[in-house]
Chains A and B, each alone.
Chain A
Amino acid sequence: DTGVSQDPRHKITKRGQNVTFRCDPISEHNRLYWYRQTLGQGPEFLTYFQNEAQLEKSRLLSDRFSAERPKGSFSTLEIQHTEQGDSAMYLCASSLGGLAPSGANVLTFGAGSRLTVL
């Protein structure tokens, strides 16, 4: 396993278009997180899955944003009708939660998907 993979690494789109990002977590990790990071800022939490269940959504996640993890493995984050303010790095992370051995809940991050909305 090569860690958390995100695709695409960089997406340039015009305002109003829809974009979708994919995250493939570490295979045995049951928890998957999406974060957004803008320049000079720390990441901000967007949403979190345990297996296929979306357990929490940030107020940052407007109706234009939707995330899925249909089989409890990979996840997609879709942004509809993109706006220039959506330009950011979208980070995915995964962890092994619950009754797990030492080291559980340590996050492993992907390299991120950078979105530029023109």
Chain B
Amino acid sequence: KNEVEQSPQNLTAQEGEFITINCSYSVGISALHWLQQHPGGGIVSLFMLSSGKKKHGRLIATINIQEKHSSLHITASHPRDSAVYICAVRSTNYGGSQGNLIFGKGTKLSVKP
């Protein structure tokens, strides 16, 4: 079993829909990242969370440390949001290493006009 699991693997939505992507992890963490990867490989860091909730524009990220779960929400989705969204955790199991992020496999989002 992967230490970081994302669901769903693939998601198709109509423009304007509210979207939720989930991330569950099984290790102790010091931080969780949400990343966006566009075709061709470019990765953009969206959020880094260690507790609570963060909002940036139409994107909202929440984390529940007790439940070891995080969600990424996109409000009023748009075709330009189409990308792979990746959850990554900085595990304390590795001695709190700053380098060793554990990545989920990603959720491929396609927003249709």
Q: Is A112 an interface residue (CB 8 A)?
A: yes
Decide if the interface of chain B is mainly helix, strand, loop or mixed.
Answer: strand
| Candidates B42, B44, B99, B105; contact of A112 at CB < 8 Å | B42
Q: Tell me which residues across on chain A come within 8 A of B103, comparing CB atoms.
A: 35, 42-44
Chain A residues near B (Cβ < 8 Å): 31, 33, 35, 37, 40-45, 47-48, 50, 55-56, 58, 89, 91, 93, 97, 105-109, 111-112, 114
User: Is A109 a contact of B105 with CB atoms below 8 Å?
Assistant: no
* B-side contacts of A40, CB under 8 Å: 105
A-B CB contact pairs (8 Å), 13 listed: A37-B41, A42-B104, A48-B98, A48-B100, A58-B100, A91-B43, A105-B31, A105-B98, A107-B35, A108-B45, A109-B44, A111-B42, A112-B43
Interface residues on chain B, number (Cβ under 8 Å):
23
| Complex Cα gap A92–B100 (Å) | 13
Partner of A56, one of B33, B35, B44, B99: B99
Whether A42 and B106, one on each chain, are in contact in the complex, defined by CB atoms closer than 8 angstroms, is yes
CA distance A71 to B4 in the complex (A): 34
Chain A binding surface SS class: strand
Query: Which interface residue of B43, B45, B97, B99 has the most chain A CB atoms within 10 A?
Result: B99
Q: What is the CA–CA distance of A88 and B45 in the complex, to the nearest angstrom?
A: 21
Contact of B41 among A105, A106, A112 (CB under 8 A): A112
Bound complex: CA of A106 vs CA of B98, how far in Å?
A: 11
A45 touching B99 by the CB < 8 A rule? yes
A42 near B48 with CB under 8 A, answer no
Q: What is the CB-to-nearest-CB distance from B88 to chain A, in angstroms, rounded to a whole number? A: 7
Chain B 1-48 interface residues, beta-carbon cutoff 8 Å to A: 4, 31, 33, 35, 40-45, 48
Asked whether A45 lies within 8 Å of B43 as measured between CB atoms, the reply is no
